[in-house]
Amino acid sequence: MTKFAPAALLAGALMLLTGCGHHDHASDDATPGSVEMPAADLPAGPPSLAAPPPARDPDADASNAAQSARIAATNDAEDAASVAQAARAAAAEAEQQSGGDSSKSQ
């Protein structure tokens, strides 16, 4: 009796699983868009992997170039200003140190 109960449960589970998803007519779900293309209908040559380049807009290219040049000029000006500020700070510090040292020696 102890071996019969697990076997009965297993048999019942198998019967439930075999009934799930059972479908006799596969052609019911087939539509022209869901089936594969037959090999005879394929193009004769291999498909090209190289796509044609997109059309270029000369006005957009010129605008992008001008904007890039303006950004580069702005960055250069900001860099020059920060270098000048650092140079002024270094000169002021050097003057303060040299002025303080000369007063101590006299």
Q: Write out the chain's pLDDT in tens, 106 residues.
A: 677 888 888 888 877 777 666 556 666 666 666 666 666 776 666 656 666 666 677 777 788 888 888 899 999 999 999 999 999 999 999 988 887 554 444 4
- From 83, 82, 64, 62, select the one nearest 72 (Cα to Cα): 64
Half-sphere exposure of 104 (CA within 13 A, CB side): 6
Tokens of 92: 């002021």
- From 84, 81, 80, 103, select the one nearest 92 (Cα to Cα): 84
Q: Tell me which DSSP letter residue 28 carries.
A: G
From CA 12, how far away is CA 9, in angstroms rounded? 5
- CA-angle at 92, arms to 87 and 93, nearest 5°: 100
From CA 7, how far away is CA 64, in angstroms rounded? 76
Tokens of 41: 């209908």
From CA 77, how far away is CA 89, in angstroms rounded? 18
